Structure 1
Amino acid sequence: MNEISQSVPEKDDCNFAMLAHLLGIFTGFIGALLIWLLKKDSSAYIAQESAEALNFQLTVMIGYVICGVLTLVLIGLLAFPLLYVVNIVFCILGAVAASKGTGYRYPFVLRLIK
C-alpha cells in the first residue's frame, strides 16, 4: 500500500502565508511581494502561498487599470466596487485556507510569478 504523507506546515509558516493573503486587502501587491521576497527561501509553503497571493494582486491591479479605462464609457464605475468586493472575498478565502495549512489557488489568475 502506497501512502503519501503530506506534512502540515508549521504554525509560523501558516501565519506568514495567511498574512500574505490578507495584506492584499490593504496594500495591494506590495504586502505579498515583501513576504515573497523575504520568506520564499525559508519555507516552500510560504513561497507557494505568497506567490499565489502576489499573482492574484497583480491580476486585480490589471483589473483596476482596465476599470479605469472603462470609466470613459461609465461601465468602469460599476466594475470598480465589484472588483473591490471580489478582492476582499478571495483574500479572506485564501487567508482562511492558509491558516489551516491547506494551499489556496485563486480562480482566473495570471500566474506571472512561479
Structure 2
Amino acid sequence: MVLEAGAAHDQGMTTSVPQGALRVSATEREPIVDRLQQAFAEGRIDKEELDLRLHLAMTARTRADLDAVLADLAPVPAAPAVPVPAGEPTAEQRVLAALAHVLGGTTLFLGPLVMLCTTARRSPYVRAHIVTALNFQLTLLILTIVTFGVGAIAYAVSWIVCGVAALLGLAGTPFRYPFTLRLVR
C-alpha cells in the first residue's frame, strides 16, 4: 500500500486539501493572539475566556481550528491614516529631536546613542537630529582623548551649542554642529 501511494505521487498526482485543513504555523498564530488581547482590552471577553481562547489558539493545528477562536469577534476596523506632510515635522518629532540634543549635552554620547537604537526609525527628521547630536558628542570625546583631557574645556561650550540645537529642533529647523566629524550617518 505504501508502494502504491508512492507510485501515485511519482506520477504527478496530488490531492487537494481544503483550506481549513491546512496546518498553521506560529507566525499565523501571532495575529490571532494580538486580536484576542485587543478584544480583552476592549471588554469583549473576560480573563477566563481570554485564557481559554489563547490556549485554543496556541494548540490549534489547522486553520479551521484557528478561525474558530475568533469566530464570534468582530474584525478590527482599520484606522484611517492621517497623512503628514513629509517636509514638516510633527510636534512629537520636534520634541524627540530636541531631546536628542539635550541628552547629548547631559549624558555625552550615551543619550543620543540610545535614541539612535530606539527611536531613530520614527522619521528622517528625528534620525538626522539624533545622528547630528551623536556625531558632535563623539567628536568632543575624541578631542578630549587626543588632547589628554585639555579638550574637556570644549564641553563647557557644548552646553550652549546643545541648547541652541535643541531650540532649533523644536522649531522644526535642521541643525549641524560646527567642526564635527561625521562618524555616524
Question: With structure 2 as the length reference, what TM-score do the two structures score?
Answer: 0.51
Runs of 4+ with deviation above 3 angstroms:
none
Identity %: 34
Write the mapping of 1:15-94 to structure 2, written as runs, cut at 5 A: 15-68=95-148, 76=150, 79-81=151-153, 83-94=154-165
**Amino acid paired to 2:181:** L
Unaligned runs of 5+ in 1: 70-75
Post-superposition CA distance 1:15-74 (Å, at most 9, x none)? 0110000111211000001111111111111111100000000001111112326xxxxx
Greater radius of gyration (CA):
2
Instruction: Give the root-mean-square deviation of aligned CA atoms.
Output: 1.6
1:6 Cα deviation from its structure 2 partner: 6.8
C-alpha distance 110-45 of structure 1, shift in aligned 2 (>3 A)? same
**Amino acid paired to 1:14:** R
Q: Pick the structure with more helix per residue.
A: 1
**Amino acid paired to 1:92:** G
Question: With structure 1 as the length reference, what TM-score do the two structures score?
Answer: 0.81
Unaligned runs of 5+ in 2: 1-84
Counterparts of 1:40 and 1:12, CA distance in 2? 13
* Contact preservation (8 Å) 1:17, 1:46: yes
Question: Which residue of 163, 169, 182 maps to 1:98?
Answer: 169
Counterparts of 1:25 and 1:48, CA distance in 2? 17
Number of residue equivalences: 101
Counterparts of 1:20 and 1:34, CA distance in 2? 9
